[in-house]
A and B are shown apart, each in its own frame.
Chain A
């Protein structure tokens, strides 16, 4: 079973598996019934997936997991914002929909193996299967897939792992796939560019104005909705000019107070964690740590409830995922652990 989103990556993944002789069925998940203009989950994408499947001579099915998506992704996303957190719904969709709900469906239908068009590699290491970075550094998706454990990796195929995006597009064009030049999907699929996050959240939770204070508690600005503010933000805070840039260093939705500080205050020695899971044996020493999908990598040591940075590190918003990598002697960078950032200071 190949998950086909209707984009170029999963189209090529399906094509490669057909070419290598697998008995392939294409599946597109319908997750979101509301408006979308970000290039994800739209009927036109289902049509593209279906037409690519037709071209490849494989069956194509659409599964409606709208209820699961609402419960596992959308509602937690809204609740996280209400609590002043900055969630990553794509990670939750991977965790709960693509690599849980759909895998259970695949089990029920008798599919031993599932494939996707993600840019990441499955690396056999001495300690077992691990998730490795994709060959294309600009497109690597190991961060959003970091939660995949060995039981999933053992039945998963990621045929695009060794390829660059340019190679994928070239192959799609050579195969005459209609998705060869399709733009990338971007942003959160259930929030339209036209309406934006504020409109979406405002339809589901009350958005409350917040006071912006400095570290001494002096009111220096205001925001229209405290639920929309994230750590590190420095615009749309209603601040008077003429000072050095100031950044959000804390959001307290309960009291509707946003605290700002100068650049130095944005940097911290350790980031608190509310959860952490090592892929295999815990790594005691330094690891390479990434805090956003295509963000920079920094060195740090993961202690049970915090990441202690080798050099001062920019604050990470609570709710964001942190992923640790190590270098496998044969397989390059592999995921060794991941967790979620907690709010508040380290203890």
Chain B
């Protein structure tokens, strides 16, 4: 009997798996919590503090979406996922957002039926060397031994870069970042290559970070951003505009400390009024968000600059420069559509 029920349930599951029963926003509101899929631990992006509270750049984005949809940034359930399980967890509905330093690529976007809503961090593969090696540019790495994680896109990028410049290298294959740290510290490889943010995280763990440097060349494009499932455009818009609201906050100089006072008064810049709910923003009701959604995001989590500086910036051990991750007016790549 039990088997029959199970079978029936399984069949029904397969039949309904494709159709959306209720909107994602309704699910989240009914539950009162946002389910967010994050990294099991990556310095600056997602890590639990001593109290067991998750912090980091990716985590703060989950909090921002919770603030926009539920009005409370703390109403998030975090589900951890590895690189291998993250997409199936999202597809299986274990989370509404995948915020796990995920590179936006064609096949992930199209083939895996998910929607990348934007780029929250422009990463790229770089090289770390000890300063004692005396190399100032990646072009001078001919003949070096390189620690490289196997089975990743970085492996291919490395081969392409060296072949393209007519140089040779000895690969030292490794499995995890922790292993790479040990080998690099022990001098088994001259160079360690992975995404630049990972290099800074690794460097910050050394006893003397000043003895090492990341070379200026970045040899690949790694646009990282939050991902949602295909099929619910309303939800994708909510997540996308939450990210843009944080960037707009930086552009319009709205910070977590002044957002409340700006929201209370009539500003000369009407875009601030529209973003903060003073003036009507046409179509907001279609998103199902309340008028103060952006106020909640910026007051509880902060604008993009605050989140970046808090988790990755110069005041943290990672000391990552803004680089491409700043507004277009400052020489970065963030150019957000107008809020009107």
Question: Real complex partners, A and B?
Answer: no
Residues of A within 8 A of B (CB): none
